Amino acid sequence: MNVCMYGASSNNIPEVYLEKANEFGKKLAEFGHVLVYGGGNSGVMGAAAKGVLEKSGTVIGIAPHFFKERKQLLDRCTYFFYTETMRERKQMMEDKSDAFVMMPGGIGTFEEFFEILTLKQLSRHNKPIIVVNINGYFQPLLDLLKKATDENFLYEGNLQLFSVCNSVNEIFDVLRI
């Protein structure tokens, strides 16, 4: 199974998030599955990819060409694909993935999650989506989605389009891998 992970690119975050991302990567490799991600060398993204590689797993990095200039890419990915735009990057990540995992991150992570969630809501895919709520990081977002549902901005069924996990182990229970 190819599992796409969205997450922070910054190392300037609490260590627990980096540790949990690395743990996720190691477990993903132990189960023989592939990480598909944005190609970053740092933050949650880099920690997960390095965890996969530590266990001799497979990592697919996908990034637009202009990221090369920023020298933020992991040069040890098993496979690396370059795109012209961020939109092409997201499309390729979606096409190459069987499931999506959102770990703590910022604007880019939120945007990727909401796009893949919207596509599922529109029946453009039926792949699992998992929100990893480490340290309650996503609780305000989950509360907002619940409020939007309570006030009829979202259908109740939209909250069933994704799963919430509070630990790395729960991710693999949801994926059943």
Choices 3.30.70.250, 3.40.50.300, 3.40.50.450, 3.90.230.10: CATH for 2-175: 3.40.50.450
Q: What's the pTM value of the predicted model, to 2 decimals?
A: 0.96
pLDDT band at 177 (very low <50, low <70, confident <90, very high): low
Q: Which residues pair with 129 in a beta bridge?
A: 100
User: What are the boundaries of each domain within the chain?
Assistant: 2-175
Mean per-residue pLDDT of the chain: 96
Count of CB atoms situated within 10 Å of the CB of 45: 30
Q: Which amino acid is at 78?
A: T
Q: Are 60 and 87 in contact (CB under 8 A)?
A: no
Which residues have a Cβ under 8 Å from the Cβ of 105 and sit 6 or more positions away? 6, 7, 8, 9, 43, 44
pLDDT tens digit string along 85-139?
A: 999 999 999 999 999 999 999 999 999 999 999 999 999 999 999 999 999 999 9
